[in-house]
Amino acid sequence: MLINVFFVKSIPARSYKKSGLVLKRDSDTASLLQIKDLQRYLRQLGYLFRWIDGGFGLGTKRAVKALQHDLLNNFGESSRNDGNAPVSLIDYNKGRVVNQKLAQCIFDMLDDKKYPKLPFAENPKDANREVITQLDALTSTDVPLPFLKAIFKQESNLKHFYVPRGADEDNYIVVGMDTNAGGKHIITPRGYGLGQFTLFHHPPKNSEVNNFMVGIRGNISKAIEELRDKFENFVTGPPGGRRADDRFAEGRTQ
């Protein structure tokens, strides 16, 4: 069953495409709107953990560095055996990794229909309630429902989408980011949604967005598969590098 989610069909005004504008931490030239626009684009593209609040904090800085790293190093290959990404990030580079040239890379990625964007919910509270309704109706012989809900509580706080609070406008799908690769800005696997099902390539395929992000039953089924795999293959302790260090309820300030 699909929940009521949306994809970006048109890109809003690109407020930060401006000569001389410096978008960085403690910048005195960037407006709240410009930083929010950047954060929103980084969320759509799968690089910002969370928060669209106009504050250029450590999370936004890491997201920019993660994108720069992928523009230099991501050929679209999977680090496991889950297939390659639909595009190679290297192809967007074209010698444009810093300053306004990086902004143009972002716009090219946003404009490219081959690059799947992460979904958001116009009404995330209602969408999350529908997700829990579907979870409660689940019958599984593989994993007891109370145990499954306890795991999901730890992984995503039982949320499929973030709910905006205060100045934060983030209503995109919950994303966990594993940054255990040595540099805190280098994202290895990502977990998506309620069940934090894991992909080892980026960006995700359109089929993965539709079946496991928009399709909540697919998300839950994938999470059950991953739980079974961990129990059957890593019974002596937590698998190194398999749990994303950003995957916990109501995460850090960005």
Q: Which of 82, 111, 140 is the last residue of a domain?
A: 111
Task: Of 153, 126, 179, give the one whose Cα is nearest residue 249.
Answer: 153
pTM for the full predicted model: 0.82
Give, as one character, the DSSP assignment of residue 90: G
Q: Per the structure, how many domains does the chain have? A: 2
Query: What range defines the domain where residue 205 resides?
Result: 124-233
The verdict on 132 and 177 lying in the same domain is yes
What is the residue-level pLDDT of the chain in tens, covering all 254 positions?
Answer: 444 555 444 445 566 566 555 555 555 567 888 899 999 999 999 999 999 999 999 999 999 999 999 999 999 999 988 999 999 999 999 988 887 789 889 999 999 999 999 999 999 999 999 999 989 888 766 678 888 899 999 999 999 999 999 999 999 999 999 876 666 688 989 999 999 999 999 999 999 999 999 999 899 988 888 877 776 765 545 555 445 455 544 444 44
> 160 near 219, Cβ under 8 Å?
yes
> 49 near 169, Cβ under 8 Å?
no
The answer to the question of residue 210 being in a domain is yes
Q: Give the angle subtended at the CA of 120 by the CAs of 133 and 38, to the nearest 5°.
A: 150
The verdict on 155 and 191 lying in the same domain is yes
The verdict on 96 and 167 lying in the same domain is no
In this structure, the chain runs to a length of: 254
The verdict on 50 and 132 lying in the same domain is no
- Cα distances from 26 to residues 22, 61, 168, 179, in angstroms, run 10, 11, 19, 24
The verdict on 224 and 141 lying in the same domain is yes
The answer to the question of residue 82 being in a domain is yes
The answer to the question of residue 166 being in a domain is yes
